Amino acid sequence: MDGRIWSRLPHKLIDRIIACLPPPAFFRARAVCKRWYALIFSNTFLELYLQVSARRHWFLFFKQQSLNKNTIYRNNNTTTTTTTTTRVNHEAYLFDTENLKWYRLSFPLIPPGFSPASSSGGLICWVSEDAGSKSILLCNPLIGSLIQLPSTLRPRLCPSIGLTITNSSIDLAFAGDDMISPYAVKNLTSESFHIDGGGFYSIWGTTASLPRLCSLESGRMVHVEGRFYCMNYSPFSVLAYDIPTNHWSKIQAPMRRFLRSPSLVESRGKLILVAAVEKSKLNVPKSLRLWALQECGTMWVEIERMPQQLYIQFSEIEGGRGFNCVAHGEYVVILIKGSDKSLLFDFHQKRWAWIPPCPYINVRGCGGGREDGVDDELHGFAYEPRLVVPITALLEQLTLPFNSFSA
């Protein structure tokens, strides 16, 4: 560790080492000197970062409030009245799956009235909560960048939202909760947004009808190889939206009459269905299972089942309140509602483990809402921390109605 040796390292080699650091270490390193501090503003360093930085399959969790809303929409282009509770100081909790560590992130630029809806390619998608046409913000929490996309055309309440971002394209879809009259909310249509580096774009100009007898509930969509997927309820099935053909279809869910708390996630390029199974026959034990959709697009194969002893422990904590799931790379996280308990499943090691509780939050350990009608729940997103996202440069350079947003 002779300083005379280390001080002579070429700057290019030092930059390469720094570009390989995980985000927490990178931001600590910026405090060393002015040159390291300025690396995040150097195009040369950011290009190197894109080439050598490792992909990190981390998760980002938000403590969202489910509010009792009194929403009235008038269909004659007049007013939208929404009674809600204003939330400020948006905060998220970053979970490092490699070291099982938690970090806290803040979103000071996000204005009140927006909620996180999806995540892809290092960006978080925030959507306005008010009924009507939805405003959309894309945020990179590591560097604090914020871009506003054009608002949706059709007014909606709480649609299901899908987002996929690559280095050269972005696809966004809103489905369901069309506001067709002041007195009815129907899940009738979807609308999509696309733009790519080749100059092709479609700004909410593409709409599609949802399948008949669709009982789509609000939530997120999952993207797998050119398709968005979301759950359909009563009875359970899976809705698939093919992006190139702009067409919706239904896929029958496995054991659909016996599923509880079903969730769709993407893992290793496959669509995974996670659900508790509760059959009426006594010779079939209750369990939590994972199925993968096969390449044919209609057949499911069970790929994993929670060990029975662990499921007994899991069900005692869960107490029938339900759970949410999110996946990223080799990892699946199962969050128990109304509890600070969550499980991590590693596909690579075939291992189940309890996640250390986040030290920055207090989640009630019992079910049921508070007297004011507000419930706090953790909602997770797959998140790949990235200092630079090439698609943001494309959005900022367009002369179309894409503008940088300032709160």
At residue 64, the pLDDT reads: 65
Same domain as 80, residue 171: yes
Taking every pair of C-alpha atoms in the chain, what is the biggest distance, in angstroms?
Answer: 76
Identity of residue 14: I
Q: Given a cut of 60, is residue 174 above it in pLDDT?
A: yes
* Cβ(132)–Cβ(185) below 8 Å: no
Same domain, 115 and 7: no
The partner residues of 295 in beta bridges, in order of sequence, read none
Both 40 and 126 in a single domain? no
Same domain, 219 and 277: yes
Give residues with Cβ within 8 angstroms of 240, minimum separation 6: 227, 228, 229, 248, 249, 250, 251, 297
Q: Provide DSSP, 368-380.
A: S--TTS-EEEEEE
Q: CA–CA separation, 210 vs 385, rounded Å? A: 34
pLDDT at 364: 47
> Domain boundary at 51, 74, 89, which?
51
Q: Is 29 found in the same domain as 106?
A: no
Burial class of residue 370 in the structure, from the number of CB atoms within 10 Å of its CB (0-12 exposed, 13-18 middle, 19+ buried)? exposed
Domain shared by 87 and 211, yes or no: yes
112 and 27 in one domain?
no
Amino acid letter at 2?
D
Q: What is the structure's pLDDT at 350? A: 92
- Residue 80 pLDDT: 40
- Distance (Å, whole) CA 33 – CA 248: 54
Domain that includes residue 232, residue range = 55-404
**Domain end marker among 51, 69, 88:** 51
pLDDT in tens, 220-262: 899 999 999 998 886 688 999 999 999 999 999 888 778 888 8
Name residue, tokens 């499911």: 300
Which stretch of 10-24, 33-47, 64-78, 249-263 has the lowest confidence by average pLDDT? Answer: 64-78
Residue 40 dihedral angles phi and psi, to the nearest 5°: -65, -15
Assign 86 a pLDDT band (cuts: 50, 70, 90). very low
Whether residue 28 is found in the same domain as residue 107: no
State pLDDT tens for residues 32-56: 889 999 998 999 999 999 999 988 9
The predicted pLDDT at position 202 comes to 83
Looking at residue 402, its pLDDT comes to 42
Do 175 and 42 have their domain in common?
no
Classify the phi-psi angles of 123: left when phi > 0, otherwise alpha if psi is within -120 to 50, otherwise beta. beta
**Would you say 65 and 48 are in contact if contact means Cβ atoms under 8 Å apart?**
no
Q: How many residues belong to the chain?
A: 407
Here the CATH number for the domain that contains residue 276 is: 2.120.10.80
Average pLDDT, the chain: 83
pLDDT at 220: 85
> Domain tally for the chain?
2
Could you read off the pLDDT of 133-151 as tens digits, one per residue?
A: 999 999 999 888 888 899 9
pLDDT confidence of residue 284? 65
The sheet carrying 136-140 orders its strands as 114-120, 123-128, 136-140, 145-149, 403-404
Q: What is the pLDDT of residue 213?
A: 74
Per residue in 372-385, pLDDT (tens digit) is 433 456 789 999 99
Output the pLDDT for position 67: 40
Kindly report whether the peptide bond that precedes residue 235 is cis, defined as omega within 30 degrees of 0.
yes
Residue 189 has pLDDT above 70, yes or no: yes
Q: Which amino acid is at 196?
A: D
- The two tokens of residue 375 are 């419930």
pLDDT at 88 over 90: no
Q: Which two tokens stand for residue 285?
A: 């034990």
3-12, 68-77, 316-325, 345-354: which has the minimum mean pLDDT? 68-77
Per-residue pLDDT, averaged over 326-334, amounts to 94
Least confident range of 63-67, 252-256, 306-310: 63-67
% of the chain surpassing 70 pLDDT: 84
Burial 381-405 (b: 16+ CB within 10 A, else e): bbbbbbbbbbbbebbeeeeeebeeb
**Sorting pLDDT into bands at 50, 70 and 90, what band is 356?**
very high
* Same domain, yes or no: 197 and 231: yes
- Regarding whether 241 and 131 lie in a shared domain, the answer is yes
DSSP state of 298: S
Return the ∠ at Cα 60 (arms to 216 and 161), rounded to 5°. Answer: 25
Both 161 and 92 in one domain: the answer is yes
pLDDT number for residue 145: 87
Q: What is the pLDDT of residue 206?
A: 78
Residue that finishes a domain, picked among 51, 66, 91: 51
Q: What percent of the chain has pLDDT over 90?
A: 47
Do residues 188 and 209 lie in contact, with contact meaning Cβ atoms separated by under 8 Å? yes
* pLDDT bracket for residue 90 (50, 70, 90): confident
